[in-house]
Amino acid sequence: MSNDPFARQGLNVGILAGSQAFYNMTAITVMTLSGLVGLHLSPDPALATLPVSFMMLGTLFATLPASLFMQRVGRRTGFLVGATLGGLGGLLSVWSIGIESFWMFCVSSMLFGFYQAFAMYYRFAAADVARPQWRSKAISLVLAGGVVAAFLGPINASRATDLLPGLPNAGPYAVVAVLAALAVLLLVNLRVPPIREPDSDDPRRPLAVIAAQPAFVVALICGALGYGIMVLVMTATPLAMRGAGFSMNEAAFVMQWHVLGMFAPSFVTGHLIARYGVFNILTAGAVLLGAAGFIAASGQTLPHFWSALLLLGIGWNFLFVGGSHLLTLTHTPAERGKTQGVNDLTIFAVVAAGSLLSGVLIHKVGWATLNLTMMPFVLVVLFAVLWLRRRAT
């Protein structure tokens, strides 16, 4: 057997990409359908997106423990635990819909958040299994696993609603449980070099020192605000479209293109970063988010929803992949567990707040105002990137 830890890098990246696809189908199903299920089950329309918020809160609570847990037991074991929790979330969702329990449905959504907390590290595992010169491309290729989910996730949310007779809207969650089981079977074959580095004389910097680096701050701003804006708008979209008179199939069509925008660029984002530099890609991501907001606020026709959500997805991709790449430049291998954990913890604190506000804003102020409210945060991202670019030159 080869002693080269990167001998299986192609196979490992493929396993992570497949696992990413299974996870993303779960996430897309939840984002597309759970707000509508919540609207049906909840006592107050303003609470419709609370199940999605519970998912994000689950991620918030679990993301740092997940990182530290994998530092002790390894990436593969952690990923297997996460996928198992996702499968349990699917089964519990079916049961809660059957008994028409809004709060139990929220609890099941939190299990999806635990799944997401572990799955968020697939991109960092890609960096672990790839040679240094291939890491940004490996991160992009793993995220590109979401392209499959872009087609199948919305189809699952819209077409499997009657899969279980007598349990409307429960079918997609049964499918999610099966997908999580398939992810477990795939992840069993993953081989990742140990996260724990051998003891050495090299000092490990305190987290405060790592976090004080300008590159860390900007990576965090891009990841947190980019993800938060995307989730807030994405979560509100099915509700806004149904309120505007569109069918579930039309909402699924728009979400399909949105998710395609999120993940299809990942085939080339790593190449674009290598060729044009991470600052240009991050700048483009912020501009695209701004364009998406203005288009969404300008009308509620199908082309408006479609183009806005497509640009929103591409902008998120550039910010998320670029921010992830920038983050890997701020820590040593021995520091990655706590650095990545705090990064994702902060991201999902913002994302949880965004998903919680989504239902309130769409109910209280409407779709156009919701999108315009995002513009100051887009400017914060843009100015942060330009500030770091100036410091680096």
Distance CA 25, CA 149 (A): 5
Amino acid at 335: E
What's the pLDDT score for residue 199? 47
What's the pLDDT score for residue 198? 45
Distance CA 370, CA 92 (A): 32
327 with 223: CB under 8 angstroms?
yes
9 with 131: CB under 8 angstroms?
yes
* Nearest C-alpha neighbor of 255 from the set 312, 175, 171: 312
Q: CB burial class (10 A; 0-12, 13-18, 19+) of residue 373? A: middle
Residue 390: partners with Cβ closer than 8 Å, 6 or more residues away:
none
Q: CB burial class (10 A; 0-12, 13-18, 19+) of residue 235? A: buried
Which is it for the CA torsion 260, 261, 262, 268, positive or negative? positive
Domains and CATH numbers, the chain: 9-192+207-392 (1.20.1250.20)
- CA angle (360 as vertex; 367, 101 as ends), nearest 5: 120
Distance CA 112, CA 117 (A): 9
Per-residue pLDDT of the chain (393 residues; tens, 9 = 90+): 444 556 677 788 889 989 998 998 898 888 888 888 888 888 887 787 788 889 988 988 887 788 888 888 888 999 999 999 999 999 999 999 999 999 999 999 999 999 998 998 887 788 777 776 677 677 777 877 777 777 787 788 778 877 888 888 888 999 999 999 999 999 999 887 765 444 445 567 888 888 888 999 999 999 999 999 999 999 889 889 988 999 878 888 898 899 889 888 877 888 888 889 999 999 999 999 999 999 999 999 999 999 999 999 999 999 998 998 888 888 877 777 778 778 878 887 888 888 878 878 888 889 999 999 999 999 999 999 999 998 877
Residue 49 backbone phi and psi in degrees, to 5: -90, 10
Indicate left, alpha or beta for 166 from its phi (over 0: left) and psi (-120 to 50: alpha). left
What's the pLDDT score for residue 209? 86
What's the pLDDT score for residue 200? 47
222 with 384: CB under 8 angstroms?
yes
Distance CA 393, CA 80 (A): 43
Q: What is the token pair recorded at 199?
A: 């003891």
Angle at which helix 9-41 crosses helix 75-98, to 10 degrees, equals: 20
Whole-prediction pTM value? 0.77
What's the pLDDT score for residue 202? 54
Distance CA 38, CA 52 (A): 9
